Structure 1
Amino acid sequence: MRIATFNVNGIRAAQRRGFEQWLRERDPDVVALQEVRARASAIPHGVFGPYHLAYDEGTLAGRNGVAVLTRHAPESVRTWTGTALLRAPGETHTDTVELEPTPLARGLREFANQGRYLEVDLADAPITVASLYLPKGGLPAHLQKPGRMREAPDGGARYERKMRFLDAFARQLTRSRRDARARGREFLLMGDLNIAHTRYDVRNWRRSNQMEGFLPEEREWFDSILSPRTLVDVVRGRHPDTDGPYTWWSWLGQSFVGDVGWRIDYHLATPRLARAAVAAGTDREPSPDRRMSDHAAVVVDYDLTHTPPPSGDGRGDAYGR
């Protein structure tokens, strides 16, 4: 099963730059999208081809918006608002549907309407797939230096908002993972986490320690959600102790040409599913003029027919299809 995550930075712009061709050629079974940035009525007709769409556009006009594309209609869909746009291939309606209510962790309601999280139970595999767009954040007040920032100093407001999100989302993530297990499903969190976890995830990591997305406290939070028993960084598992593969490059200058990037888009899977990964990488375009987004898609092939046994376990794992 081929599963991808892609921050498209606006589906209308991505369509003009070749998104539909990428979707046809890569032929994923599941795609998590972030920053769709379109009202339901403005989604280009036919852009998602033969896929079923589950979409939470949020209430921030022209911003955010997360979706999951699947070959088969999902068994169930959950969002933080309790509503979503569900479309079968070829449909163009804009009506949202009421979903089964999802209990929210303390502190998360502040972000519930922003179009940042959606999860589906796949119909053709025992997996719950989630698409996340985590706030970019900013610098704490003591690191903000007027004249050295692209954005106006805000006294640490964006930083504090991100830290509130991280604190609340960690609790929600544990709940979602455990709920998936209770339903007999593996759990796969994908998306733009806006945090580079280790030195191998930023090209110029020594100069990035005081930049949003690579602050020590952000990386410590990332440490806290990973473990061999809970969630595993799938791509890093396939590419240990190597730089990248990066997933984001600035539009400015020669960052893309020189591969001066950040790895901030992830597949985080429960251990048994992570062991099923047989290929993992980033769909980095060959040249700047071919870029669909400032991000690249992260694509992983999972062999769900058989997975290696856990270390020292001696038993094989088989998936029903």
Structure 2
Amino acid sequence: MLRVASFNINGIRATHRRGFGDWLEQRDCDVVALQEVRCPVDALPVGAFRGYHASYDPGSLPGRNGVAILTRTRPVAVRTWNGAAYSVEAQHLWTDQPTATELQTESVPLARELRPFAMEGRYIEVDLADRPVTVASLYLPKGGLPSDLQRPGRMREKPDGGARYARKMSFVKGFQRQLGASRRAALRSGREFLLVGDLNIAHGPLDVANWRRQQRSEGFLPQERAWFDQQLGPRRLIDVMRQLDPDVQGPYTWWSWLGRAFENDTGWRIDYHLATPTLAHSAVTAVVERETHRAARRSDHAAVVVDYDLR
């Protein structure tokens, strides 16, 4: 059995104080992919990744982004968009200070549209040492509204003429090519491919509360959903959670900190496992680890944990 978790932790230092270490130890995953680690490597909390080896691209934007993949054993290959990452050695005690060394990684061939994002710490992939699987962790930009939908006074953010929307759509255009190349490269080497992470897009009506009202919101725009459609298919990638629960509303993976969104379960499913068909069909369980009450929340996201039976 291969247990893989994807978790946007919204800052390792904050989520560590909220009990991330306890969750990590108790959940006993083989692989944990993290997004929004938001921490320089020399400021990682003591005991941050106890029991795991971490492959980590913190990016170059202070306090933002950062992706990591935690594995029980050191992966045989690590790939990033900028050709560099850190290897954080497994810690055996919560009192251990993380020990990190800089890696010269394999570079993922980048589409032109992705080059402005190369240093932002948004993507890392590893070849597992003990299973024939390549796992990638992605933090896709949140984006914004196109200019024709922006209404001053009705937005939390200042109108930007559609700049954030254009930036996100440029990212996904380039990422579509890179994703296809990574998937095919894994298959050529005899590996299955698994993309996990925060895609900042709810794919369909079952993936967001009050979906009719959300059709003019970033993250559920027709253009974003159409792009998502193009990534899925019986010969490309399969949404593992939706394969196991095709008709279930949610389960959501993100809730705003504002108001009573969490208590009322008015959330979004924007965190995914997207797997090549053979791997997807080996999935036996998929769980969203939603905390029982607001005070127990470790992040504004919940972890998505899938068990794959690779026998």
Q: Which bracket does the TM-score occupy, shorter chain normalised?
A: over 0.9
Q: CA deviation at 1:99?
A: 1.5
Match status 1:177 vs 2:183: yes
Question: SS of 2:73's equivalent?
Answer: coil
Question: SS of 2:166's equivalent?
Answer: helix
Query: In structure 2, how many angstroms separate the alpha carbons of the residues matched to 1:94 and 1:69?
Result: 13
1:225 match = 231
Match status 1:299 vs 2:305: yes
Query: In structure 2, how many angstroms separate the alpha carbons of the residues matched to 1:200 and 1:32?
Result: 24
Query: In structure 1, how many angstroms separate the alpha carbons of the residues matched to 2:204 and 2:103?
Result: 40
Match status 1:88 vs 2:89: yes
Q: Pairwise mapping of residues 1-321 of structure 1 onto structure 2 (< 5 A)? A: 1-90=2-91, 92-305=98-311
Is the 2:89–2:99 contact (alpha carbons within 8 Å) kept by the matching residues of 1? no
Structure 1: runs of 5+ lacking an equivalent: 306-321
Q: CA deviation at 1:110?
A: 1.0
Is the 2:137–2:196 contact (alpha carbons within 8 Å) kept by the matching residues of 1? yes
When the two structures are aligned, how many residues end up with a matched partner? 305
- Bigger Cα displacement from structure 2, 235-244 vs 163-172: 235-244
Query: In structure 2, how many angstroms separate the alpha carbons of the residues matched to 1:178 and 1:88?
Result: 30
Question: SS of 1:205's equivalent?
Answer: coil
Amino acid at match of 1:29: D
Question: SS of 1:53's equivalent?
Answer: strand
TM score, norm. by length of structure 1: 0.94
Q: CA deviation at 1:241?
A: 1.5
Is the 2:59–2:66 contact (alpha carbons within 8 Å) kept by the matching residues of 1? yes
Question: SS of 2:304's equivalent?
Answer: strand
Amino acid at match of 1:22: W
Query: In structure 1, how many angstroms separate the alpha carbons of the residues matched to 2:186 and 2:309?
Result: 20
Amino acid at match of 1:230: R
Q: CA deviation at 1:106?
A: 2.6
Q: CA deviation at 1:46?
A: 1.1
Q: Deviations over 1:226-284 (max 9, x none)?
A: 00111000001111111001000000111101100000000000000001100002000
Query: In structure 1, how many angstroms separate the alpha carbons of the residues matched to 2:220 and 2:285?
Result: 27
Q: Deviations over 1:74-110 (max 9, x none)?
A: 0100000000001221373444221223321232111
Question: SS of 2:169's equivalent?
Answer: helix
Query: In structure 2, how many angstroms separate the alpha carbons of the residues matched to 1:69 and 1:43?
Result: 14
Query: In structure 2, how many angstroms separate the alpha carbons of the residues matched to 1:101 and 1:287?
Result: 42
Query: In structure 1, how many angstroms separate the alpha carbons of the residues matched to 2:183 and 2:197?
Result: 16
Amino acid at match of 1:205: W
CA RMSD of aligned residues (A): 0.8
Q: CA deviation at 1:168?
A: 0.2
Query: In structure 2, how many angstroms separate the alpha carbons of the residues matched to 1:194 and 1:224?
Result: 16
Query: In structure 2, how many angstroms separate the alpha carbons of the residues matched to 1:100 and 1:168?
Result: 19
